[in-house]
Amino acid sequence: MSGRFDGRVVLVTGGSSGIGQAIAVRLAREGARVAVNHVGPAESARETADLVEQAVRECVDAVRAAGSEALLVRADVSDAAQVAAMTARVVEHFGRLDALVNNAGIQVAADTEALDVADFDRVLGVNLRGAFLCAQQAVRHFLSAGGGAVLNVSSVHQVVPKPRFLGYSVSKGGMANLTTTLALEYAARGIRVNGLGPGATVTPINRSWVDDPVRRAAVERHIPMRRAGESGEMAAAAAFLLSDEAAYVTGQTLYVDGGLTLYPSFETTWSSE
């Protein structure tokens, strides 16, 4: 790998597993020093907490194995005070912050008429409020440092409806506007803001269909390339958008989805010609 990120510091939220972990490791391999954010599940079972801690340790170990420095930072991104403290710690530890990857995200499945309001609020709190809070803190630092980059890890579901996941779809739609608004507001001040829109990806959050051959086949039939994506493919796109090779790119969402946003039902023409 080249050293596109030599000397740079990147904060990756939700970096303990899946796409966030892949991005953290990819950037480390290209020279970045990486702050890996995670949050311990305060109300979950001890077994779940142990698994989270194990994933975090594996990510940090992988970053260090790539020859880079990793800093572990625990924070609930939906909490303004915790986000401010996390950002301050990263800057204090590394002496700088060059890029933010807003990757932290959760989803809750429920028919909308039965969706608990608290669950809706919780999803928006992490996915959208969290992205705003982290971006706000990063932008404040970037303005004093002469520039920086923000990458919002969104989803194809910022444009493709996802029934039974209303909070998730709404949060990702909001993230699309967060990306474009911030990009326009700060373009003249050396700050680039872009989005990454993964399609169906093999990650722990998707274990319910990834590990089930029947359900996985059903998912992949909807994808023009007929396969799910890998987290490494998302990380490669993220690395491009954060690099100087994308210096003239801002306000864009790059969909890495095997064609899922191409209206796949029209793959075979069924409308009048």
Annotated catalytic residue 255: no
Q: Return the half-sphere exposure (C-beta side, CA atoms, 13 A cut-off) of residue 247.
A: 4
Catalytic residues: 168
